[in-house]
Amino acid sequence: MATLATAVVGQTGSLATGQQRLEYLVLTAILNAFGQARHLAGSSRHTDATFPMASALHCFEILLEKKVVGQRPRVAMLYGDPFLAGATTDQLLGAWGIDAAEVHKIDGDEAAWVDIHDELATPSLFSDSVRCIVVSRAATLIKQYRAQLEQWADSAVADSLLLLHTDTAPGNTTLGKRIAKHGLLVDCRLPTTSSRSKTIDQRQLRQWLIHWGKGQHGLKLTQTQATTVLDAVGTECGLLDQELAKLALYADAKGTISDEQLKRNVGNWRTRTAFEIADAIAAGRVTDALRHLGHLLAAGESPLAVFPQVAWSLRRYSIAAHLLLQAKRTGGRLSAREALQAAGFYPYQIDTALAQLKRMGLHRASLLSRWLLELDLKLKGSHSHDRRAAFALEELCLRLA
């Protein structure tokens, strides 16, 4: 800039006259402004890969709260649980008025960017609808064509929509930042109790389960019933959806299901048998407990897989017994029903659990936690072999006879 100004001054001679001095000052100001603008533009290009990442929407905001981005983006990434990503995609496409029949679904492991680009960038001669492609398992596509996807996120053509499904979050990558800036990021992982925690938020998951059962399967679950389903099936949303579809077959015309009916039918037969083993042990029915255990082991179930379900059920009796013994020592007022509820028994289980706790006695019930810990250590050490593990489980069945 100084060189250019000097050259101009050289052409006009000296700056002796006021007119020349004024022209010089004006030209210098123009050149300085131009240089600052060019610097800012260059700075903007330089920091494009490091701008702060916008927070992603969580899929439950869309599925539960019906929160949808008003303006349809041209590129979006949904990461986390594949089932939740699919359900969220369907919800978004419907809200944006995109016909599911016109959506082209591609497997990311087999996709080539040139084919995706050509389909998105080429207008149809027979339709003015949005050209939409959903890429499942997009991790391979992202790895091979990251630069092209980054460029597309910045300059995607109109009337196109690219949806990428991937298992892992984009993190602090340039692609993730550009999609967050120009498109939409949706977190489809299970919600956690806090941003730094890995503990699943059971309350939010239970809300989704109730909402999904009613909306998709016409099944009206109570909070307690939803908790029972989660305990029996786990937190994998695809399996939960299948379980809701099965339970809906046992519901009445209003979509409700009794607690007893749900208990009999929730989970697969292996899950139900494991809980039946725990009930039989607590009730002192040794023959039934050993028979159920034999059926599971004969079906190929590992003792290491049976023990956690049995232990979870029996541990609640130990917790209730310790609460009651503590209340007696301290002079506190705590009923057996209150202790059982605090230990984790559901309302419909209280009467049966109360009878079983009385049969065990508080002293024996309080020892259950120690027995379960000893068995856990055996299964991880001296009794890790299946045959010895089965013997250790049979020994547990005899403890409360």
CATH of residue 128's domain is 3.40.50.300
Q: Give the side-chain half-sphere CA count within 13 A for 47.
A: 8
Which residue is associated with the tokens 């029915």?
Answer: 285
Give the DSSP letter of residue 75.
E
Q: Last residue of a domain, which of 188, 206, 236?
A: 188
Using the predicted structure, report yes or no on whether residue 20 has a pLDDT greater than 60. Answer: no
Q: Do 315 and 365 have their domain in common? A: yes
- Cα-based distances in Å from 352 to 53, 126, 363: 53, 67, 19
Residues 9 and 41 reside in one and the same domain: yes
Evaluate if residue 152 carries a pLDDT over 80. yes
Q: Are 277 and 310 in contact (CB under 8 A)?
A: yes
Q: How far apart are CA 253 and CA 256, in angstroms?
A: 8
Running DSSP on this structure, what letter comes out for residue 106? E
368-399 pLDDT per residue, tens: 999 999 999 998 888 888 888 888 888 888 88
Q: How confident is the model at residue 117 (pLDDT cuts 50, 70, 90)?
A: very high
pLDDT given at position 222: 93
Q: What is the pLDDT of residue 11?
A: 44
Mean pLDDT value of segment 162-175:
91
Domain residues for the domain of 238 are: 214-254
Q: What is the mean pLDDT of residues 243-272?
A: 85
High-pLDDT (> 90) share of the chain, %: 41
* 131 and 67 together in one domain: yes
Total of domains in the chain: 4
- The CB density around residue 363, as the number of other CB atoms within 10 Å, is 9
Average pLDDT of the residues in 218-222: 95
Query: 387 with 275, same domain?
Result: yes
Rounded distance between C-alpha atoms, residue 241 and residue 216, angstroms:
9
Rounded Cα–Cα distance for residues 105 and 133 (Å):
6
The partner residues of 79 in beta bridges, in order of sequence, read 166, 187
H helix runs in 189-265, sequence order: 202-217, 223-233, 237-248, 259-265
Question: Residue 76 in contact with residue 186, Cβ under 8 Å?
Answer: yes
CA proximity to 104, closest of 92, 116, 96, 95 = 116
Average pLDDT, the chain: 83
Q: Look at 82-86, 131-135, 393-397 and tell me which has the smallest mean pLDDT.
A: 393-397
In a domain, 154, yes or no: yes
Q: Quick one: pLDDT at residue 366?
A: 92
Confidence band for 68, pLDDT divided at 50, 70 and 90: low
Beta bridge partners of 57: 186
Mean pLDDT of 85-96: 92
For residue 2, pLDDT over 90 is answered with: no
- pLDDT, residue 332, reads 85
What is the side-by-side strand order in the sheet with 75-80?
57-58, 184-188, 75-80, 160-166, 131-136, 104-107
Phi, psi (degrees; rounded to nearest 5) at 245: -65, -40
The whole-model pTM stands at 0.62
Domain annotation covers residue 392: yes
Are 125 and 31 within one domain?
no
Give the single-character DSSP code of 47.
Answer: G
Residues composing the chain: 401
User: Residues 391, 280: contact at Cβ < 8 Å?
Assistant: no
User: Residue 200 forms beta bridges with which residues?
Assistant: 192
Instruction: Report if residue 198 sits inside a domain.
Output: no
Residues 371 and 284 in one domain: yes
Q: What is the pLDDT of residue 164?
A: 95
In this prediction, residue 312 has a pLDDT band, given cuts at 50, 70 and 90, of confident
Q: What is the pLDDT of residue 17?
A: 54
Pairing of strands 104-107, 75-80: unpaired
Report the Cα–Cα distance between both ends of the chain, in Å, rounded.
Answer: 96
Non-local CB neighbours of 264 within 8 Å, separated by 6+ positions: 272
140 plus 183 within the same structural domain: yes
Provide the pLDDT for residue 172. Answer: 86
Does the structure show a pLDDT above 80 at 127?
A: no
Which whole-number Å values give the CA distances from 46 to 49, 50, 173, in the listed order?
Answer: 7, 8, 15
Of 50-64, 157-171, 208-222, 304-318, the one with minimum mean pLDDT is 50-64
Give the whole-angstrom CA distance, residue 212 versus residue 223: 13
Residue 199 lies in a domain: no
In this structure, are 42 and 72 located in the same domain?
no
Same structural domain, 241 and 292:
no
Do 273 and 395 have their domain in common?
Answer: yes
For 78, the token pair is: 């949904």
Say yes or no: 283 and 369 in one domain.
yes
Band of the pLDDT at 23, cuts 50, 70, 90?
low
Stated as kind and residue range, the H or E segment containing 308 is: helix 303-330
Q: Which residue shows structure tokens 């008025």?
A: 97
Please give the pLDDT value at position 19. Answer: 55
What's the pLDDT score for residue 69? 65
Instruction: Measure Cα distances from 231 to 191, 227, 397 in Å.
Output: 17, 6, 22
Concatenate the DSSP letters of all residues of 6-46 into one string. HHHHHHH--S-SHHHHHHHHHHHHHHHHHHHHHHHHHHHHH
Percent of all residues in the chain with a pLDDT value above 70, rounded to a whole number? 84
Look at 56-60, 125-129, 226-230 and tell me which has the smallest mean pLDDT.
125-129
Half-sphere exposure (Cβ direction) of 393: Cα atoms closer than 13 Å: 31
pLDDT beyond 60 at 209: yes
* CB neighbour class for 176 (10 Å; exposed up to 12, middle 13-18, buried from 19): buried
